[in-house]
Amino acid sequence: MTVLFMRIEIQFFSAGALRFLPRNRDHFSAIKLSSALASLYSTVSGRIEEHQKRYEYHNVATCIATLQRCAQRNDSGTGQKIHGFMVRKGFLEDSPRAVTSLVNMYAKCGLMRRAVTVFDGSERDVFGYNALISGFVVNGSPFDAMEMYREMRAKGILPDKYTFPSLLKGCDAMELSDVQKVHGLAFKLGLDSDCYVGSGLVTSYSKFMSVEDAQKVFDELPDRDDSVLWNALVNGYSQIFRFEDALTVFSKMREEGVGMSRHTITSVLSGFTVSGDLDNGRSVHGLAVKMGSDSDIVVSNALIDMYGKSKKLEKATRIFEAMDERDIFTWNSILCVNDYCGDHDGTLALFKNMLRSGIRPDIVTLTTVLPTYGRLAALDQGREIHGYMTVSGLQNRNSSNQFFIHNSLMDMYVKCGDLRDARMIFDLMRVKDSASWNIMINGYGVQSCGELALDMFSCMCRAGVKPDEITFVGLLQACSHSGFVDEGRSFFAQMETVYNIPPTSDHYTCVIDMLGRANKLEEAYELAVSMPICDNPVVWRSILSSCRLHGNTDLALVAGKRLYELEPEHCGGYVLMSNVYVKAGKYMEVLDVRDTMRQQNVKKTPGCSWIGLKTGVHTFFTGDKTHPELKSIHAWLNQLISHMHGHESMMLDRLFG
């Protein structure tokens, strides 16, 4: 469109097209312009420049918003396309906010190298450093975050209220002195009263078990409505076993009306779990029910752990069965509870249910189940677990778990009596800790392989591994079971003089058992009455067992009397004393012992045996008539007994076919 203005033909353009016109005054030099025309040009040119700036601003703002969405959705692909577009348009040259958004996007997507590259190509400011520090912490590199903070301080850039919370989340890379320096700088900058900075300081001091400093920071904060802050202080007191102080903070939190979260409940429950305070734990359970948090999976896991550690297996099981959702931590908790409470059959049944539910076991699961297989001598099932660990690569993951994994496998094989496979795992270990050596020494000792146990101890010393209390328990057991009395005396004497390990009741019991087995009963008795620790019933049961073995009725009477004084309600002493009389042919005394047991209401724990089949582990007690297949079992047993006595010609392969 053209118009005639002051006898000059002027062409009008749209606003979008104006920005493409040249704005050089030289193009108008050939025309003698009046002041009115010059004014018109100035107005039009200004509007063109204003529109172009507005156009570029909206594009930068759009890119920044898109990068923020990419960071939230972990969409690095789209973020890289936006990065390329911003480079082509030159948006990164004049917009520090765009650079920070780009650094933040790469950091949130776990691409820290690209984040650092973008940051290195831009002008340093506190916002970019904050994004990098936060990124390193979130991505598990707290040491790099600390290095970035030191670089920031070296360049004279002051941190702000967003720097400190991110940095303190990575306090694993700090010493206590570093936290104190950060605290000092926050105080100088007047940021120590900020709720998030204060929460980070309380958490960090608590992790270093410096709860006095944490409490001081907490008390000086003007605003304490954040539940994270209170949770940190409760955790801090719980970590150093000051459970009364933790409960006081928790009670004060309720009084001030601070909203409690599931983390508050779990923090308090963990303290009561460690302290064994079941009464207060039940009170918190009731509070969780009122809040509606008891159905939360994290709270339920904490409740299972608390009741389990208090040996309330039924209560823990009811909570487990009432859960709608279960994660790996839930299964690990209930497995540990069953194993801790001695329900080994229940542990294995739960483990099978876990596999059926599609949950893949982790290291904690397998190292919980392996000891159960060892206690039940279920070697085949233990080997299956070993095979699974090998195929799934659990044996070859990070080195921090290697001792625990290999030691659990060795312990299972040793308890199942398979010393060959246990030794194979031991030999394959590149680095061995004291527990690794102890397992093998104990295994050889229990299996009466005394020479191998002593050789293993010599190798342990040559390898530079320092023996501990458990090492000498294994050595003394080996000497006891193999009849190495002189060697056992020598090890016992060297414990305190050479290795600076004071003997405990376990060591005295092993030595007394060794002397008793070797028919040195007088020496065993003198050691029992002269040992500088409290009387132990196990010691006197060992002497009583040796008296039965060697037929020393006189000393048995002394040991039996002492045992009755120590634990009158335990059946072990009565049974051993009865066996002594049986071997001596004193059957009237046997009847007297049994009468005493009835009067004292002492019942002998029935003996049991078990067998593992595909359907599970079947346990049989003496006189037990509760097995669902009892009639069928007895029928087959009768046929087997008849066959053994020659009353029925039946082929064994047909019997078990």
Do residues 478 and 444 make contact, with C-beta atoms less than 8 angstroms apart? yes
Q: Residue range 464-477: average pLDDT?
A: 94
Three-class secondary structure of residue 280 per DSSP: helix
* Cα–Cα dist 490/496, whole Å: 11
pLDDT for res 16: 41
190 pLDDT above the threshold of 60: yes
Token readout for 501 is 């390990």
Q: Which tens digits make up the pLDDT trace of 499-508?
A: 999 999 999 9
- Among 298, 304, 361, smallest CA distance to 333 is for 304
Distances (CA, A) of 425 to 260, 430, 466, 478: 49, 10, 21, 21
Which pLDDT belongs to residue 35? Answer: 53
Q: What are phi and psi of 32, to 5 degrees?
A: -80, 100
Q: 465: how many CB neighbours lie within 10 A of its CB? A: 17
Dmax (CA) for the chain in angstroms is 145
The answer, yes or no, to whether residue 363 has pLDDT greater than 70, is: yes
C-beta atoms surrounding 533 within 10 Å: 12
Whole-number pLDDT of residue 639: 85
Rounded to 5 degrees, what are φ and ψ at 10?
A: -120, 135
Pick the more confident residue, 588 or 481.
481
Q: Among 306, 309, 310, which residue's Cα sits nearest to residue 294?
A: 306
**Among 70-84, 374-388, 431-445, 600-614, which is the least confidently predicted range?**
600-614
Q: Which backbone phi and psi does 415 adopt, to 5 degrees?
A: -70, -25
Max avg pLDDT among 121-125, 295-299, 403-407, 481-485? 481-485
* pLDDT given for residue 647 in this prediction: 52
* DSSP structure class, residue 317: H
Q: Is the pLDDT of residue 199 over 70?
A: yes
The dihedral built from the CA positions of residue 232, 235, 237 and 243, taken in this order, carries a sign that is: positive
Q: What average pLDDT score do residues 254-271 get?
A: 81
- The CA distance from 228 to 546, in Å, is 61
Q: What is the mean pLDDT of residues 68-75?
A: 86
Q: For 457-480, what is the mean pLDDT?
A: 94
For 224, the 3-state DSSP assignment is coil
Residue 597 has pLDDT above 50, yes or no: yes
Spatial distance between the Cα atoms of 24 and 45, rounded to a whole number of angstroms: 10
What pLDDT digit, counting tens, does each position of 286-342 carry? 888 888 888 889 999 999 999 999 999 999 999 999 998 999 999 999 999 999 998
Residue 456 has pLDDT above 90, yes or no: yes
- pLDDT score, position 464: 92
* Alpha helices in 447-586, H assignment, sequence order: 450-462, 469-482, 485-497, 505-517, 521-530, 537-550, 553-566, 571-584
Write the pLDDT tens digit of every residue in 397-426. Answer: 555 567 788 899 999 999 999 999 999 999
Section 444-471 average pLDDT: 94
* Cβ contact 594:604 at 8 Å: no
622, 607 Cβ separation under 8 angstroms: yes
**How far is it, in rounded angstroms, from Cα 469 to Cα 471?**
5
Measured CA to CA in angstroms, residue 400 lies from 239, 396, 404, 433, 464 at distances of 22, 11, 8, 12, 20
Question: What torsion, rounded to 10 degrees, do the Cα atoms 393, 399, 400, 401 define?
Answer: 30
| Whether the predicted pLDDT of 40 surpasses 70 | no
Buried b (16+ CB within 10 A) or exposed e, 72-86: eeebbeebbebbeeb
> Whole-prediction pTM value?
0.67
Give the residue-averaged pLDDT of 418-445: 93
What is residue 3's predicted lDDT score, i.e. its pLDDT? 42
- More confident position, 632 or 647: 632
Closest to 550 measured CA to CA, from 522, 527, 526:
522
Section 590-615 average pLDDT? 75
- Amino acid letter for position 86: M
609: part of which helix (H) or strand (E)? strand 608-613
pLDDT range class, residue 17, cuts 50, 70, 90: very low
The CATH class, in words, for 504-605 is mainly alpha
Least confidently predicted of 89-93, 387-391, 575-579: 89-93
Lowest mean pLDDT among 446-455, 478-487, 589-598: 589-598
What pLDDT is stored for residue 252 in this prediction? 86
Distance CA 41, CA 540 (A): 113
User: Does residue 601 surpass a pLDDT of 80?
Assistant: no
**Residue 415: strand, helix, or coil:** helix
Q: Using one digit for the tens of pLDDT, what is the confidence trace for 547-561? A: 888 888 889 888 888
Average pLDDT rounded to a whole number, residues 105-121: 86
Side chain identity at residue 392, one-letter code: S
pLDDT number for residue 44: 44
Q: Are strands 8-11 and 2-5 parallel, antiparallel or unpaired?
A: antiparallel
Domain boundaries, the chain: 2-41, 504-605
% of the chain surpassing 90 pLDDT: 25
> Backbone phi, then psi, for 363, in 5-degree steps?
-60, -40
CA–CA separation, 657 and 655 (whole Å)? 6
CA distances from 151 to 89, 144, 155, 157, 191 (A): 31, 11, 6, 9, 20
Angle, CA 26 vertex, CA 22 and CA 30 arms, to 5°: 115
More confident residue, 410 or 582: 410
Average pLDDT over residues 369-396: 85
CB 64 within 8 A of CB 100: no
C-beta separation of 436 from 407 below 8 A: yes
pLDDT at 616: 64
pLDDT band at 27 (very low <50, low <70, confident <90, very high): very low
18 band by pLDDT with thresholds 50, 70 and 90: very low
Q: What's the whole-number mean pLDDT along residues 62-75?
A: 85
Residue 468: what pLDDT? Answer: 94
CA distances (Å), origin 548, targets 16, 292, 553, 569, 656 = 109, 61, 7, 21, 40
Q: What are phi and psi of 619, to 5 degrees?
A: -110, 140
Q: What is the mean pLDDT of the chain?
A: 82
**What count of other Cβ atoms lies within 10 Å of the Cβ of residue 199?**
24
| pLDDT of res. 7 | 42
Other CB atoms within a 10 A radius of the CB of residue 358 amount to: 6
pLDDT of residue 566: 85
Strand 616-621 versus strand 2-5 pairing type? unpaired
